Amino acid sequence: MSWKTEVFDGELLPLIAILRGIMPAEVEQHVEVLIEAGFNAIEIPLNSPDWQTSIKAVSAKYGARALIGGGTVLTPQNVDQLAELGGKLVVTPNTSAPVIRRAVELGMVVCAGCATASEAFTALEAGAQGLKIFPSSAFGPDYIKALKAVLPPEIPVFAVGGVTPENLHLFMAAGCIGAGLGSDLYRAGQPVSRTQQQARAFIDAYQGALQ
């Protein structure tokens, strides 16, 4: 199972690494072990310290190997900033049609946050190529399964919020193509070895869920 986009030349593993709170001085080390583990979609939230420096550096070094971008993108101006820094992935916590439309205009990949059918279809009408159900752990797999029943089957849906290696298979069984992985993959300040360990755990869990 994978997802494709014209923005990135090749198939993307449908696991988005969320590096909330990461510092520019450490970002390349963590991204390196994530890519080595098999990740090729990296999100640096815009409420991280000096996110502009991190995204610019990672986009320049790893942009050919991974889809790099920003999360917690709230305004069209944020989208413009991301594009200038080389970011190609836009992840939102909410459903904002102006943000989605601006990102699509700039040829970026949008994974839009939503919780209801109304929000999901608003995001799709604005041009979002993917949806993230947030917070997934609060809604649960049964809710996502019901929501998926009314969504276009070709639209990739990601579970975000509270996803762990232990429960990833439940969300995938509910119809998610994959997930956005936050604090169980990376917490601000953790050593690279911990990121490497959790990256492998999530890859193993994803592969196990496909069997």
Residues 136-172 pLDDT 10s: 999 999 999 999 999 999 999 999 999 999 999 999 9
For residue range 85-120, list pLDDT tens digits in order. 999 999 999 999 999 999 999 999 999 999 999 999
Q: pTM value?
A: 0.96
Q: Which fold has domain 13-208?
A: TIM Barrel (3.20.20)
Rounded to 5°, angle at Cα 153 from 206 and 128: 85
Q: List, by residue number, the catalytic residues.
A: 43, 132
- Helices 51-62 and 76-85 cross at an angle (nearest 10°) of 40
Contacts of 60 (CB under 8 A, 6+ apart): 86
